[in-house]
Structure 1
Amino acid sequence: MPSHRRTARAGAVVLAVVATVLTGCERGTSTGGGSYSPGPARTGCPTVLAGARAAVQRAMTTHSAWDGPTTGPRAVPGKRIVYVAQTMNNPGVAGAAKGVQEAAKTIGWNVRVIDGQGTPAGIQAAFSQAITLRPSGIVIGGFDPHLTAQQVAKANAAHIPLVGWHAVDAPGPSKDPKLFSNVTTRVQDVARISADWIIAHSHGHAGVVVFTDASIPFARNKSELIKKALATCSGIRLLAEENIPIPDTSSRTPQEVSSLLSRFRDRWTHSVAINDVYFADAAPALRAARKKGGGAPFNIGAGDGDPSAFQRINSREFQAATVPEPFAQQGWQILDEFNRAFSGRPASGYVAPVHITTAADSGGATTWDPPGYRAAYRKIWGR
């Protein structure tokens, strides 16, 4: 949502809505992002539940003030950046690339995007092509740099700064592989708030299915953190963990969802997935089982927040919430990190806070675009 629509008044409205969302409704009713009550008011983990409710309220609130960097070097002129994309079919990778391109117009740089087509060979070829262009900097857009170890080494030897987007587990500078900075939210925060949402939404009593891709270390770690956080509430039951590789979601998820419905029936009240894409592919099976789009199982995506996820949430079609990445803001941050590298300054160290989007606080938007960063970066860059 454009920053000018994000106001303090909107934040106050969200607080009021969150309070309503978390106070409960009767079993069998739903308002998409609304509450689920498994029966008489009872709490299996009162302390954990209270903390989860407070965390969810904070994560749903939209603040009008920018909390990122407000000082830094003026724009270095005439730089050329190449964005090597894991695949532009990935909405997150494409969203961050769009943010980089938008910021480049403001700072006065040239950006070229090279699509790795989602295969190891394609990504390696794209990275090699990027190096031959002798750019000022290269973005590692959404893939593991160890996949392109030779290309990373060549870029390092040529003194081409590398900035990652979701390239390694942790945000900030990386020594191995050598990255000037990695722009991402903290996986621990994303996992924790996803679990908190389930705990708060269910009043501490839920039957949960976790969807993950164990072939990706980052995704496997995220799902392990989610399970650990869910286990802090004694009223939460982990019914199953479904390991479905992301490339196979469209072919495997519908069948697995049908099987889960047969096994658990009404005991399956909530789901959490390491990426929103699982719920796009779960929807046909849930619809075929005559499940209501705004009813159980209530689904939350622990990361990404692509436009299709927002559309499902806004229309209450088999997804109740997501923990979205601020793609455009991260694209602007990527260019700011490069500008710091070119100026001999350290990385900014900024990490965007986690946010939860539901139908109650999305405002009809199709992406999470926090306020204030464009004006802040323009001021830093002197633009």
Structure 2
Amino acid sequence: MNPGTARPATGAPRRHPGPRPGRFARCAAALLATVSVLAGCERGSARHVPGEPASGPSGCPAAYDTARTAVARAERTDVPWNGPTTGPPAVSGKSLVYVAQTMTNPGVAGALQGVRQAARVVGWNVRVIDGGGTPAGIQAAMGQAVALRPAGVVVAGFDPGTTSQQVARATALHIPLVGWHAVAAPGPSRRPPLFSNVTTHVRDVARVSARWIIADARGRAGAVVFTDDSIPFARTKSRLITAELATCRGVRVLAYENIPIPDASARTPRETAALMSRFGGRWTHSVAINDLYFADAAPAFRAAGAPGAGPPYNIGAGDGDPSAFQRINSRQYQSATVPEPLSQQGWQIVDEFNRAFSHAPASGYAAPVHVSTAENSHGAHTWEPTGYQEAYRKIWRR
């Protein structure tokens, strides 16, 4: 598909140009000639499978219908703000320390931008300490943050359980902690003790990303899952993704690639090249717990002569950073993302702290899941709910 070419609605028969010459083209031609059940090199096109109606989807009709409906709903862009509209006015003169799992994680970096924007509105100071993506680095960063005795500490992208001593010290000093993707569920957490955790519902993100593959492939796919099992949040997400893919008998998970995010830039190109050599045209789709895997995989795809528009067709189950949107909009080795509204979540982190400082309950808000593609992003490089800044300013009386 050439950039700028409109694609029919999800689930409708779609025609795509054949791959460029190279291994993918040869594999695709051979697989199409034998009507392989897993190859799907004409994306979304209806192919007759013996024993099934030529006009209907193959592989898993019921799961396909469910997936198509769910994806169409998630692709809507006219969703109004459904977050908090009331709360305490802003408390002035506070300081936050933002402890980052690693600033090379685009989601962590994107949420920080939102925190800084909101902090300027309420007149707070924000200091950043980068854990560097290693257990020792994160523990040291968390210890340094608590030693500064700020008004609050952001636990950004790592499991607080890995810094239990530092968390206990913060609790003893009555320093509230607010997480970003720190645990699996949004809202307050007792163990570990977080005033609130800011995230979308991981189950919803996992389901819709897997359903996008089922719908896009019309129930016939060979998928690769990229994850980081060292992060409990990511491990939960990837396991939910594989469980949802398993609801369609025509989708096979070819490989489950456990690559820690700090190692992604070094390992992903090598692993991608090996997977391409191993699976060839059977690899039709990919899903990753973070978009950055596809940035790192792109050189291997390109070197093998794989077309930028796919196959394989790649969807990120987070975080929706600007580079992911750039790949999607230019159709360069990523087809979709389930973006976190990173700026909104940064504003929400500030709002949760303000509630903690005011002895008010946490909002517990979780943004609805959304699927961004070249067709519905309209060239944007982020996705955010509409009206959130106005809502928070009204709450804070700012």
Relative to the length of structure 1, the TM-score reads 0.90
Percent identity (aligned):
66
Instruction: For residues 47-93 of structure 1, give each alpha carbon's deviation from its aligned partner in whole angstroms, at most 9, with x where no partner exists.
Output: 22111111111111112521100111111222222211222222111
CA contact (8 A) 1:209 1:239 kept: yes
Q: Which amino acid aligns with 1:275?
A: N
What is the aligned partner in structure 2 of residue 367 from structure 1? 382
What is the aligned partner in structure 2 of residue 65 from structure 1? 80
What is the aligned partner in structure 1 of residue 221 from structure 2? 206
User: Within the alignment, does 1:37 sit opposite 2:8 as a pair?
Assistant: no
Cα RMSD (Å)? 1.9
**Residue aligned with 2:44, SS:** coil
User: Within the alignment, does 1:75 sit opposite 2:64 as a pair?
Assistant: no
**Structure 1 residue corresponding to 2:286, chosen from 271, 289, 300:** 271
What is the aligned partner in structure 1 of residue 24 from structure 2? none
CA contact (8 A) 1:59 1:354 kept: yes
CA contact (8 A) 1:21 1:35 kept: no
**Structure 1 residue corresponding to 2:198, chosen from 183, 186, 190:** 183
- CA offset at residue 219 of structure 1? 2.2
- CA offset at residue 185 of structure 1? 1.1
Q: Which amino acid aligns with 2:13?
A: G
* In 2, Cα distance between equivalents of 1:249 and 1:160: 33
- The farther-off stretch of 123-132 and 175-184 is 123-132
* In 2, Cα distance between equivalents of 1:171 and 1:22: 31
User: Within the alignment, does 1:24 sit opposite 2:13 as a pair?
Assistant: yes
**Structure 2 residue corresponding to 1:338, chosen from 353, 372, 376:** 353
**Residue aligned with 2:376, SS:** coil
User: Within the alignment, does 1:318 sit opposite 2:307 as a pair?
Assistant: no
Please give the residue correspondences for 1:204-353 in structure 2 after superposition, counting only pairs within 5 Å: 204-353=219-368
What is the aligned partner in structure 2 of residue 5 from structure 1? none
**Residue aligned with 1:53, SS:** helix
CA contact (8 A) 1:65 1:372 kept: yes
**Residue aligned with 2:277, SS:** helix
CA contact (8 A) 1:64 1:372 kept: no
- CA offset at residue 38 of structure 1? 6.0
Distance 1:177 1:158, change over 3 A: same
- The farther-off stretch of 208-217 and 194-203 is 208-217
What is the aligned partner in structure 2 of residue 3 from structure 1? none
CA contact (8 A) 1:28 1:295 kept: no
CA contact (8 A) 2:14 2:43 kept: yes
CA contact (8 A) 2:101 2:138 kept: yes
Q: Which amino acid aligns with 2:384?
A: D
Q: Which amino acid aligns with 1:78?
A: G
Instruction: For residues 268-290 of structure 1, give each alpha carbon's deviation from its aligned partner in whole angstroms, at most 9, with x where no partner exists.
Output: 11111121122112211211221
CA contact (8 A) 1:75 1:381 kept: yes
* In 2, Cα distance between equivalents of 1:98 and 1:123: 20
**Residue aligned with 1:324, SS:** coil
- CA offset at residue 367 of structure 1? 1.9
* In 1, Cα distance between equivalents of 2:247 and 2:380: 33
**Residue aligned with 1:177, SS:** coil
CA contact (8 A) 1:84 1:130 kept: yes
Distance 1:358 1:97, change over 3 A: same
